[in-house]
Amino acid sequence: MADHSILIEQSADAVRVTVTPPVTGFDYDDTLPDYRAARGYAGGLRMSCGWPIVDRVGDMGATRKAVRRG
């Protein structure tokens, strides 16, 4: 069985969550409107499947969120 990971990346105006390598028969990938939603979704996958999260957005997501509030 291949080792999977959950990748969080910023796209143009959303945040993309991708499971790599893909799981046959399941589509876990999703595009979410902001970092908080993407991190929550990825956290749920991590808790239910045990896969590690590779966060390529990190603090940038928190900064963007703060800018939107201000």
Closest to 45 in 3D by CA, of 68, 70, 20, 19: 19
Q: Which spans in 1-70 are helix H?
A: 35-49, 59-69
Report the alpha-carbon distance of residue 69 to residue 57 in Å, rounded. Answer: 18
Looking up tokens 């900064």, which residue turns up?
63
**Quick one: how far is CA 3 from the chain centroid?**
17
User: One-letter amino acid identity for 30?
Assistant: D
pLDDT score at 11: 87
| Predicted pLDDT at 50 | 94
Nearest CA-CA partner of 60 in 38, 42, 27: 38
pLDDT of res. 37: 96
Q: Is pTM, for the whole model, over 0.75?
A: yes
- What is the mean pLDDT for each group of 10 consecutive residues in the chain (70 residues)? 87 94 96 95 96 85 45
